[in-house]
Amino acid sequence: MDEAINRFALIKHKKGIIVSLDADCLVLQNYLVEIEKFFEKNPKGTACSIYYEHPISGRIYPRETLKAIIEYELYLRYYNLSLRAIKSKVA
């Protein structure tokens, strides 16, 4: 992300969008288009978060991995709710 910011600065592009994904993420074909639309509709926006969920069932991953995914999902939701409870600006 630092490199993306440096490159935007080099070309004097102040409104660049930086997108971050995990290497194993699957997204719909319109993913980048929808992000662009969001910032067109919200020109004062500086960040956004897209709804996500990890697979918690099926045969793609071993049972132990699915258990770890569920625990991680619960942690993320607890953390988010905690930030909202204290009225954090990052929630």
Is residue 25 within 8 A of residue 6, CB to CB? The reply is: no
- Regarding pTM above 0.85, the answer is no
Distances (CA, A) of 44 to 15, 29, 41, 48, 65: 10, 26, 9, 11, 40
Which residue bears the tokens 């625990």? 71
Contacts of 82-90 with C-beta under 8 Å, sequence gap 24+, read none
**pLDDT digits over 38-76, tens only?**
999 998 888 887 777 788 888 888 999 999 999 998 998
Which residue bears the tokens 């500086």? 46
Q: What is the mean pLDDT of the chain?
A: 89
